[in-house]
Each structure stands twice: as C-alpha cells, then as structure tokens.
Structure 1
Amino acid sequence: MNELSEPVLVMSDDECWGRLATQEVGRIVTRIADRIDIFPVNYVVDDGSLLMRTAQGSKLFELTVNDEVLFEVDGHDDAHAWSVVVRGRAHALDTSAEVEHADSLGLRPWIPTLKRVYVRIVPESMSGRSFERGPEPDRYGVQPY
C-alpha cells in the first residue's frame, strides 16, 4: 500500500457474490426478542441466494420464529482481506422440487450428523469491504493530508 492508496474499498454486489462463491463457511446471525445467536455454517451460493443445511434445534427454531438474519463471510491472504455481510430472510425449503435441486448442489455436512433441512437465505441487501493489508502507519509521526 502506498501513501495515496485507499486501505478500505467498498465492493459492488457483483464483487460480493464473487467472494461469497469462493468460500464454504460463514456465520448466520439470528434474533428472537433480546436474544442474538451466531452459528458457523457451511453453505453454497445458488442463483442469487445462499443455501445451508441444518437439523432440528435452536438454529432452525429461531429461524422459524424470526426469519430476519444476517450472514457474514470473510477471507484473507497475506496482501488482502475482505468481508461480506448479507441481510435477508431465511426459510426452510418445503417442496420436493426445491429439495431435489438443493440435493444436486453437493452441499454436505462437515460433521457426521444428519442435517435434513435445507435453508435458503434470500438477500434483501448486502455490503462488502476489501482491505489492503500492510504495516500500521506511524501513530505518532506527521500524517499526510
């Protein structure tokens, strides 16, 4: 990074989708009243939405009580880092055609448990930031304007 480059860049929606497609683990945030939970999940991008699998339990219960979710994914290497946050609604797939299509995407649980329910997150908005990594500027020296 040189003195004139911007260390934080806003990504377009297309760039966000491109980054989401490169990863397979993210975090879903759910909320019921004053309780907020965050769960790591593996996922796949599918035609403008995100698909994950889950089993009966707190995550699925919370999604049925309040379908508003946040979903966050990030990545990094030695030179760059990025983060994408999706705000949307989540719902379990309920038709056999939806489930058959989801089965064709190859999304498998990471741990040997049965996760029979597919959940689709339909974005209402998304934001992404990319960062150029580098040394911290001198905190006490003269700063360029």
Structure 2
Amino acid sequence: MLGSLTKNQCERVLLSELIGRIACSASGKMYIVPLSYVFEKGYVYAHAKEGLKITMMRKNPNVCFQVDEIDDMAHWRSVVIRGKFEEITTPAAQDKTVKLLADRFRVYNTSESVKPVFHTTDQEPLKEKKPVLFRIAVEEMTGRFENTESK
C-alpha cells in the first residue's frame, strides 16, 4: 500500500534520521548532496564548509531537503521539505546551533564532515574553526510511505 504521511509522521521521520539530501540551484545549475542535520521546531539545522552549496544557497535561498527511512524495499517512508536557507550569523544563535548539532551527533562515530562542529576528544564546541552554520525554514512538507504486508 502506498500512502501519504501526516505532518506528525513526517516530523517523526525527520527526528529519527541523521542524513538527508539538500538540493539547491543558482545560475541555471542544480546541485544535490547528502547532509547531516538536526530537525527542531520547523527548522532543519546543519553546517558546511564554504563551497558550492553554500555559494548557491546564498544566491538563491530556495532549497529542497529530502530524508528517507527505509526498513526494506517494501517498507519505507520519505519526506520532502521545501524551504528557505537562512545563514546563522549572530554569536548567540551560532552557539545555540553548535550545541544543538553537537548534542545530536556526539554519541556517534563521526567523520571529517561532522567534526568541524565539535572536538572529538573532549566533545566541546570548536571556537577557532567555525563552519558555516545554517538552517532551512520549512515552508512546505510532504511525505509518502509504502507498507506492503507479506502474504
């Protein structure tokens, strides 16, 4: 059976996963990449090094974000968000975002792409090496699922 997820079901998927895909476009080009994230209160929070996606999102803040929760090929949930990129620039908001990301990911074995948010030795937020912190303000959220019962 294929169906649509409710808002609460979409939010449960977003809260349960760690990796999504962000799609952005600018100057006639599109780009989609995986991204570690935290979902909280209508926003997707993330960080990235300066690069193509940050440059594109600064030019065109309209983005799409997608997350899958897959049990197997017959049991899955998928959420798509359309929203606006908002760079986080004030010190207080940056501190809050770093804490949010660090709290979410500190219990996981993280890679180089997540480590800029916090030290891996003492798990304290970095001060000397700041990534670009941003959030996606959710404007529209939809979800689909498939749940095929075995016979």
- Global fold match (TM > 0.5): yes
- From the CA coordinates, give the structure whose radius of gyration is larger: 1
How big is the shift at 1:130?
1.1
- Cα distance in 1 between the residues matched to 2:65 and 2:96: 22
Identify, as 1 or 2, the structure richer in helix. 2
For residue 98 of structure 1, what is the aligned residue in structure 2? 93
Identity, in percent, stands at 29
- Cα distance in 1 between the residues matched to 2:28 and 2:148: 36
- Cα distance in 2 between the residues matched to 1:55 and 1:29: 16
Matches within 5 A, 1:1-145: 7-78=1-72, 80-105=75-100, 106=102, 110-112=110-112, 114=116, 116-133=131-148
Aligned residues: 129
User: Residue deviations 1:80-108, cap 9 Å, x none?
Assistant: 20100000001110111111111211255
Q: Contact 1:20/1:84 (CA < 8 Å) preserved in 2?
A: yes
Segments of 5+ residues of structure 1 without an aligned counterpart are 1-6, 136-145
TM-score, structure 2 length as denominator?
0.78
- Cα distance in 2 between the residues matched to 1:43 and 1:108: 9
**Which stretch shifts more, 31-40 or 118-127?**
31-40
Segments of 5+ residues of structure 2 without an aligned counterpart are 117-129
- Cα distance in 1 between the residues matched to 2:98 and 2:59: 25
SS at match of 1:104: helix
- Cα distance in 2 between the residues matched to 1:46 and 1:20: 9
TM-score, structure 1 length as denominator?
0.81
- Cα distance in 1 between the residues matched to 2:59 and 2:141: 23
User: Residue deviations 1:44-75, cap 9 Å, x none?
Assistant: 01221100110111011001000000000001
SS at match of 2:89: coil
- Cα distance in 2 between the residues matched to 1:87 and 1:30: 10
